[in-house]
Amino acid sequence: MSMRKLLLLTLIFSLSIHLSQAQQDPIYAQYINNPMTINPAFTGLNNKFNASITYRNQWGGFDGNPTTFNFNSHISLLDNKIGTGLLILQDKIGNTQNTEVQATFAYKLKLDDNNTVSFGMQTGIINFQDNVGDVNPFDKTDDLFLQNTNVTRPNVGAGAILKNEKYLVGLSIPRLLNTVLDQGGQEFQLYDRHFYLFGAYVFYLNEHIRFKPSALLRGVSGSPASVDLNFNVSLNEKYAAGIFTRNFNTYGLQVQARLGDKLKFGYIFEVPTNNSVGISFTSHEVFLGLEIPTFNFHDRSLSNF
């Protein structure tokens, strides 16, 4: 076995052990296409009915690599004063799996003709599973590897967003409850809460072309903060392409398109550098979304967000 493969095996094994002790949130590169994945305050914020799926395959080609599936749907109600929604998520890495079902709610307050602030909450359950049979630990007597983990815990989360047709700013903690597991007489931190701060701005270069930079700060106790920077150029509000980086050790290309007035499609291709896992293990993320104005008080125009 080459030294490179040995190092990668060690990395995945370390990630599996780390996630067995503290499950981490999944990564989304297309958060600005679908902010509800990380912030419940986006529920119904575009004043339409929405449904979307996102699939992410990270470090493809490597056994035990992270994969994430996310489905969410939300709608604006009561003359666009509130939003309600549903989020279903399954995240896998190595021998661990995290499945959750969340109901979301948002109250929207119109500050003036251009600005809206939304306060959101979500509540539901998260199921944590860890199959120790898929791991070959150095110390087989370690309490952490003596039995499988299958626990379900409640969750609540909260967020806020300030929205204008030119900008979007959000702050959220989608999973507020730290979770501790008692296993083999020892306590293990099963989940640490994460916080997210993101923002985007639209520059109108001319009648047809818009430039949309965005940034996401992701933080969790005990780990360095993670920063995503995205730069998109859109044409006629229908097509967009751009580049992004995560912590300047992963780089990618992204494309987005509106398929008619109701469907949105997005794709991201990521290449990690040797400061991450190396360029051999690329990542792919696909997004497909549906937007339909259902009630007479819904917005019929295309939105930047």
pLDDT digits (tens, 9 = 90+) for 41-81: 999 999 999 999 999 998 777 777 889 999 999 999 999 99
User: Would you state the pLDDT for residue 134?
Assistant: 57
Task: Please say whether the beta carbons of 289 and 34 come within 8 A.
Answer: yes
Dig out the tokens for 230 from the structure. Answer: 């995205």
Which letter does DSSP use for residue 202 in this model?
-
Percent helix, percent strand, percent coil in the chain, to nearest 5: 10, 55, 35
User: Would you state the pLDDT for residue 27?
Assistant: 87
Which letter does DSSP use for residue 19 in this model?
H
Backbone angles phi, psi at 84, to 5 degrees: -130, 155
Cβ neighbour number for residue 82 with a 10 Å cutoff: 16
pTM for this structure? Answer: 0.85
Cβ neighbour number for residue 136 with a 10 Å cutoff: 9
Distance CA 257, CA 22 (A): 37
Strand 116-130 versus strand 179-183 pairing type: unpaired
Distance CA 53, CA 141 (A): 41
H or E, element range at 18: helix 3-21
Cβ neighbour number for residue 302 with a 10 Å cutoff: 12
pLDDT < 70: residue spans in the chain: 1-23, 132-147, 183-186, 275-278
Which letter does DSSP use for residue 44 in this model?
T
Distance CA 69, CA 75 (A): 21
Task: Please say whether the beta carbons of 16 and 96 come within 8 A.
Answer: yes
Task: Please say whether the beta carbons of 72 and 52 come within 8 A.
Answer: yes
Fold of 3-262+275-292: Porin (2.40.160)
Distance CA 63, CA 95 (A): 10
Task: Please say whether the beta carbons of 305 and 162 come within 8 A.
Answer: no
User: Would you state the pLDDT for residue 61?
Assistant: 72
Cβ neighbour number for residue 268 with a 10 Å cutoff: 22
Distance CA 185, CA 142 (A): 12
